[in-house]
Structure 1
Amino acid sequence: MGQDLWKNRLFLLLWMAQMTANIGNQCYSFALFWYLLKTTKSGTVLSLLAIPEMVAGLLFYLIGGVLADRYSPRCLMVGSDMARILVAISVGIMAAMGVEQLLYFLAAQFLLGVFSSLFQPARTVALKTVVPLEQLGRANAILDTTMRIIRILAPMAIGLFASSLPLSTLFFVNAGSYLLSACFLYAIRGSLQNKLGTATIKMTPVQYLRDIVEGLGEMKRSRCLFLILLFSNLGFLVWQVCWNVGFPFLADGMGHGEVSTLAVLIGSYGIGNLLGSLYMARALYTRHLFVILVGWALQSVGCLLLTLGTSQHWIAYLAAVVAGVGGPLIGIPTVTAIQMNTTDGTTGKVYAIYMLMFTFFCMLSSSLGALWLGKWPVEQLFLVSGLFLALMTATGFLLERRGTDAQVKHQSISP
């Protein structure tokens, strides 16, 4: 199975497009955070950078899902990459000129969020088009593994590269990576045409609304799909605040203010992510919700162990690895389930609804972190988060078991 997948030319082109874009994204993020840190000396500024992208996702993910189902996903991906090239070049020019106005950089983040909201649903539809259904899980795992390897290795290489060249160069490297991505996607040519044959239909606001209702109807018809989308996102209500608030404060207590402790803690989580992705690349499964809940159970165990991290540092690093393993077990089966359990005309829209839920829960979690949870002692934050995830997964396992039993019963009485 794996050998056939690697011989799939269309999948390889998608894989190479994602790989080059991911490397460029790491260059962009590294350069932007470091540039704004040096020019503003403000942690508040850095915390604001994620907000424009989230807002763009809330506004444009559903539009991206509708377009991915209506039009050629190849054209949408190439167009998004070309637009992101212009944004990356503009930010590079601003950095080279020493521009310090935050508003310009926030606007760039918003635009990147808009084009990502158009790109990601199209890529999900494209992967379903070029990969057989039985290989979708492995294909998603390979893409996920590649992304996580780049996240671990790229920062070290970028740090060496940035020490000998102007920081603004990294933004132009990002633009070049998007150009390579667009070339790989363009090479797919006419293989990713929409299957509805509706590309010539004039899209009106009413038609957009009808398409969105169609995507919601797909979830209404499939209780299992609804539960998958719900439980894959519900845990982010506490995960986001644990990541943004819990990890930095825990590292501060462990290392007495040494930033290297945070780096090791995040690195441990990244190692866990990589292990989880490698496992999912070889795993065979059909109960997607069950795997997702196992992932959140590992996150729960990790959070509970992190409560001991300030006194036992090795437990904190081990807990970060355990929690990290759970990440791919949540994300990969969710995307695979969407691709396998939706019709060709609703995959993009359902994926967009999934990302909309993800963005909503992350924003709500960030708000809780600012207003309430972030004021707790870090041990209490991880304890409450771990207990919440444990209760959530227990409820999910119960519902998943009932659904499986009902399906078996239905099959046994069917003629």
Structure 2
Amino acid sequence: MDWKKIRQAVRTVLAAVLICAASVGITGDPAYAADMGAVYGIYEHGTGWSGYHGDSKTARAGTGSYVTAIRASLLGQPDGMSGTLSYQVNLSGTGWLSWQENMTPNGSTETDMPLEAVRMAFTGQLAENYDVYYSVYQNGSWTTPVKNGETAGTEGQGLRVDGLWVTVTGKGAAVPEGPNERSVDPTRPMVALTFDDGPSKFTPRILDSLEANGGRATFFMVGNRVASYASTVKRMADLGCETDSHTWAHTYLTGMTEGEILQSLNQTRDAIVAAGGSAPKGVRPPGGKINDASKAVLAKAGMPALLWSVDTLDWKTRNAQHTINTVLSQVKDGDIILMHDLYEQSAVAAETLIPELTKRGYQLVTVSEMAELRGGMAAGHSYGHFR
């Protein structure tokens, strides 16, 4: 990962935010004007490093896996303010390891020993101006958030860490609520609505309907479109939707070299994170074109290829009723439904499908939510449904 590029991209966005703030008369300590946040990743046993997760986003190991190492840093640190975000882990069978910082891995990527607990703290002037809160997923639930060097997790009782959540607040600000993960009933039917080729000016209509009906969807975004719709991407993440990759310029993976694929994925990830989304958990190959060579590259990138089981052909028909009829006549539990938020008629169809599918008893989940309950996903593999 090109950390310098991510930091520069985010600072560009932050600069625009601060200019807007100044124009409407927002003043005060620059430490609090800066939109600083944590960014972090987990090492999942049997899978490898996760994507990078932005401030307040949950990082969860997949089904059957657990966390053996973490790494973290900051985005948007105020210029001239000293300090870093440091972190310490308790590795099962070893105990507390040394503190690390600046995305240096802490834990083990070579053994199967899980983490049991985590501590995080600011150093330097950051410690005087900010608090860092964090929680771990352990024994089936998130622990109560702790801050500034306190221990998250239970050590010495054989309990493993299965996830991490981190957020930064101004010094003395209200205690955050902690991870906000909804409960998905594994015994009830579920489907994953997915939207390709956006974001676009029609995407907010889909988000409005999802919010009104308590649903979530997965958006496979073309990276070079993201910056123009940054507020929409942030809203996706705020609603719990999944912000995934559709490559930088909608180029077929099968016609790209390894270096080109990795560059495209990295550019797209950086743009999504800079816009306020979460790092992609998967990639949808443009045109659904995937072969063994491109799967091998995705394995190196730590990402699965996410296909579909219901193809609405909405990009071709541009007919809302045709899209509605296709979905309602074919949908089954575990389906991944392919649509495109680039077209107005697809948004019109979604405004009918979202409440209707909910009425028919389907939980509208993200691809990762469904995968987590039904066997998980592995990097370099492709998935079209989860039955």
| Range of TM-score over shorter length | under 0.3
Output the TM-score relative to the length of structure 1: 0.24
Output the TM-score relative to the length of structure 2: 0.26
Which one has more relative contact order, counting CA pairs under 8 Å at least 6 apart?
A: 1
Task: Looking at secondary structure, tell me which structure has more strand per residue.
Answer: 2
Task: Looking at secondary structure, tell me which structure has more helix per residue.
Answer: 1
